[in-house]
Every structure is written in structure tokens, then in C-alpha cells.
Chain A
Amino acid sequence: MGKIGLIISREFFSRIKKRSYILMCLIGPIIISLFAVSAINITDTQKRYKVLVVDEQGISGNWTPTTQWCDFEMGNDMTDEEFEHSKYDALVTINQGVVSNNTVQIMYKAYPNAHARADIIHEAELKLEGLRLAVNNINKESYYKMKQRLNVKDYVLGQEISFFDQNKSKVGLVFAILIFIFIFNFGIQVMRGVIEEKSNRIVEILVSSVKPIQLMTGKIIGIGLAAISQFMIWTLLTALIMVAVKDNVYPDRYDPKDQTVKTASSINSDSEGADDNVSLAKEVNDTAMMIYEELSFSGWLMYFGFFMVFGYLFYAGIYASIGAAVDNDTDVQQFLIPVTLPLLLGVLAAYSSMTDPNGPIAYWGSIIPFTSPIVMMARFPEIAGTENGWQIYLSMGILVASALFMFFFASKIYKTGILMYGKKASLGELWRWVFKRS
């Protein structure tokens, strides 16, 4: 093992053996799971939706007046403005070619809750189901074999919304916050490690054996590996908890496959049995479906891993420089605030990018390396696969280049700073350390 390997090993093992680290490995997944379960339950709002069904040709027939979450009324079409001032929360438009295009348009006044939306879609599917059976003259068994999910177009006051993408952005925001937590937490550990070595003077012994840049590299990588290990443990434990929640707390609630099977199995059952299956179908929760079914976690983890690693490398260099530039913990504040601020701004920009993913805050926030690891994580579900998809790769490229530059920059400050005792460095001195000839 080379000298850097030895340093990495010491930094890694000294951290993962700490009680606080082990505790965080266990507490983290519980907190994340609680968030996820809360997100599922928060969507279970109690508001009933007044829904106007516009079916001017009468194709779908009369709708059940009342379901668990909605009250349906049949009526005439109205303009967006009329709808906005009407008593209705949603307007379902059944178009003339619905049997062939399998598409229904739903307009909401505000972003809908998942239950109401599921109720509306379910009712529409039931109506279309009857319609298709009659039109095609086929039995239910054959129909369920060829059944496709209804194509739903959601609008909020004329603006088309992507139901899943909005939710994916929320997941992106959670990942972005995780990146903030990891960068901040482990960046601070790098800084404290440097201060510890500097203040107890062991650094003088260390740099008589290894080059300062080796020492800094080993420390940053060792602590980074501890961070990655913690994240892997979090991922594994969170997955286990969520699977346990799915199987034991909501055994039949969120799995569309189960739902389909059960609905199909009810074909030959009596009407009471069919009603049971209807109520199961109503329980579909989009947040839960998204968490369990829609998200490609391997893809997310790849992006998360990239932005976490390079975001950490970018900031770890800065934190190491701060540790080297100060003489003790009390001097830290002056430097820490300007470094932490961009991270916090990143979280704010990430939040803002959910509503305006292509606005200037989201764009620049996801390009500038001080905030890009956080903002792009929240933004990429909105822009991946779109014409702005190239911005993801631009952001990644700039982040890698910036992390390398910051590493070089930090090594210059670190090299001189760790041997300077008794005072904190001024900005002028930092400038000299970086740009003086060695």
C-alpha cells in the first residue's frame, strides 16, 4: 500500500469506527423512510372534488354521482375562465374518439391530490370499459388481456402538467438535499481533520514523511469513501425499510400489478366482489406508485453518485484550505459562512427549479459549480430527454473541471497553511500562497 493508501485507510477506518458515524448510518434510513411514507400519506388529503364531466355526445353514459373522493356532475363545456370561477375542482372532457385514442383530458383548478385523480381516472376507465365491450362485442376476459392504461392528459387551468415529473422533481429535491447534507457534513469533517492535525502539530511529523498534497489527497479520499459507504448503507437500509413498509403496511395499496390482477380476477365474480376490487383500484396513490414503480433508481443513483462525488471533491478542497488557513476552531466562522452560503443557495435554487425548471435561476444554479451538484440533481428529471438535456452534460463537465481546479488551488493553500501557526491567514496571504512560485 502506498503512502496515500495508508492515509486513505486511516482516515476511512477512523471515521467509520466512530459511534456518531454508526448512529447516522442507522438513523438516516429511518428518517428518509419516514419522509417517503409521509409523502405518500400527505397525498391522502380528505378534500372531496367536485368534478364536471363534459361528454357532449353522451358516449360514456351517466357517471356514478358520488365516489369515495369525488362528486360527479354531467354538464356542458366551459372556457378556462368560466371553469376558474366555477364551483368545480376538475373538469373531465370525453372526446368523440375516445374509444380509439384512449385519451381523456382532465383540467384541475390546482395541482390535484392523487386520490381524487385516481378516482376520476378509475371512473373514466370503468365507463370506457363498458363502452369498448359493447362496441367491440368482446367478453371481459379478452378485454382484460388486451387492456391498456388510459392515456390521461392533466391540465391546471390550461397549463399541461406532467404528473409524474412533478413528483420526480420532488424526489430530485430530496436527493439534492441529501447531496447538501453529505457535502456539508463530510466537508466539515475534512476541515476539522486538517485543523486537528494542525493544532496538535502532528502535521509536522506527517509532512516530514509525505508530501502535503499526498496528505490532503488521502484525507479527502478517505473521508469521501466514508461518505459513500454511509450513503450505500442508507440506500440499502432505506430500500429494505420501504419494501417492508410496502409488504406489511400497505400490502395491496400501491401496486398497480396487483391491482390489475385482482381486477381481472374479479371478472367472473359477483357484483359485491367487483365492488371490493373497485375500492382497491381507488387506492392507487401516484406518489407510492412513483416510489415503487416509476423511478429508475439505478439511473438516479448514478446521477446522485456523480454529483455527490464531484460536488464533494469540489467543496472538500475548499474546506481543507479553510482548515489549513485558520489556527483554531474559533477562526473558522469567518471562512465557513461564505462557503456554506452557496450550498444553501443551491438548495433554494433547487426548490425553485421544481416550478421553473428552465428559468434563469435553475439554469445558472445548475451550471455554476458552487451550486450545480445540488440544483442539477433536482432539475435533471425535468430536462432529461428534452431539448435542454445537453445542460446536464455541460453541468457535469464544468463540475469535473472545477473540482480539479479547486483541488490544485486548495493544495497550494494547504501546503503553506498547515505549517503556519499562531494566526489565521489574511486574504492577501492566501493569494500569495496560491500564486507564489514554489
Chain B
Amino acid sequence: MKFYTNLYLQELTAHKKGLIGWSIGMILMVAGGMSKYQGYKQAGESVNDFMAGMPEGVLAVFGGGQLDLTQAVWFYALIFLYLLIMGAIHSAMLGAELIAKEERDNTCEFLYVNPISRTDIITAKLLAGVTNLVVLNLVTLVSSLLIVEAFNDGDSVTNQIFLMMIGLFFVQIIFLSIGMASAAVVKKPKLVSPIATGFMLSTFFLSMYIKIKGDYEWLQYFTPFHYFDGETIVKDNALNPTFIVLSIGIIIFMFSFTYFVFNKRDLNT
């Protein structure tokens, strides 16, 4: 195993524009979401009364009805779901793209003919992917801290935002690994990204289903969106250790699977 700085930097350059776009998207999502909070805060208790009158199913989607939307951090927990979705789409697509683009664009007759093993190619691409995720996560963290604190007039919420960002990072890595594993196993490069994002969306809808129905507890293990639910993090002021262990397990499995399968298969040239 050797680390190829040239390939790593090449991958960073290739995804630079995309990363800037997603970063702006994240900032807009935090800012746009929190700007609505102003209205809720002014309306005061009547918002909570209004929410209490909503049907349970609708309520579940908006945080199960336990959220005090007049407090900044609870409101942020609501927005956090959308940050999770954005982070998940970004990383699933990135993971798929990192591997599949060489076959889609026919550049694998260049890259894989270089004196570098497939294992080292995956490693450099994986690290470039993780770097992208870290940057997007930090952008989200900083913008969240600044914007939420600007609206917050209660206790400091820094700790809870930090916890949610760790949760976001786990979700990002999980879907990066799923994106890469899809690219390793799916032979038609154009199908990789749709399959990875399709899978990601189905886990999202599963988490919504569990929230609305309120039972089927065993299903929660199948959706990373449930592992790092903003409402639960704010309530517990902690991450659930079971889900952290489970996440690490999924990540290790998916990355090992990627290395193993991709090393064995024919490239589409």
C-alpha cells in the first residue's frame, strides 16, 4: 500500500466545483431554515398550540410533536433532517462518481494502465472523498453555529450542534461507502449513481415511515437517518452508542467490500 498524492490531489480538483456548490447549498439551507424561526419565535406559544392540533402523521414528520419550536435549537433539529438528506445525497453521489466516472468517461484505459494497483487507486479516491465530506461538514458546522447562535437567546447550544454534526458525518461516511460499494459491484457506470441515491432515498422514506407509524422498532436499524435523529440528539444531549457501533460496522463492511469486489472484477473499457 502506498499513498499517491498526485491522484488524491487530482480527485480533489475534479470535485472542487461540486463541493463549492454543495457548501453554498448547506449554508443556504441553514440560513433559510433559521430565518423562518424568527416568525415562529414571535408567534410564541400559539405555534406549539397550532402544532398540537395537527394530525399525528404530519406531526411525526415535523419532529413528533415534542419539539418546542419556539426554541432555536429545537427548530434547528427540524432543519437538521434536511441537512442529513443533503449530506447523504452528496456523499452517495460522490462515492459513486469517484469510482464509476473512469469507466463512464473511458479514462480507465489511462488511469489503470499507470503503475499503480487498484487498491491504491481506491485508497486515494476514498481519502479524497472523505476530505470532501469533512469540508462540507465543517462548512455546515460553522454556518450552523453562527446562524443558530444569532437567533438563540436561551442557553448555549454549541454542544448539541457539535453532536448533530458528528451524526451528520457518520451519515456522510456511510453513504460515501455505499456509493463506492455500488460502483464496485454495478457494472454499468451510468447506473451507479441512480442506484446509490435510490437506495439512500429508500432508507430515508423508511425512517419517515417508522416515525409516522411509531412502531416497527426493528426496522430502525436499516436506516441511518434514524441513527442520528436531530430531535433525539437534542433531547438526550448525546449520541446513541449502539448506533455509533452499528455505523462503524457498516462503514468497515462497505469499504472492505469495495476493495474486495473492485479488485476482482473486469473494468469496462
Specify whether A and B are partners: no
- Measured CB to CB, the residues of A under 8 A from B are none
Residues of B whose CB lies within 8 Å of any CB of A are: none
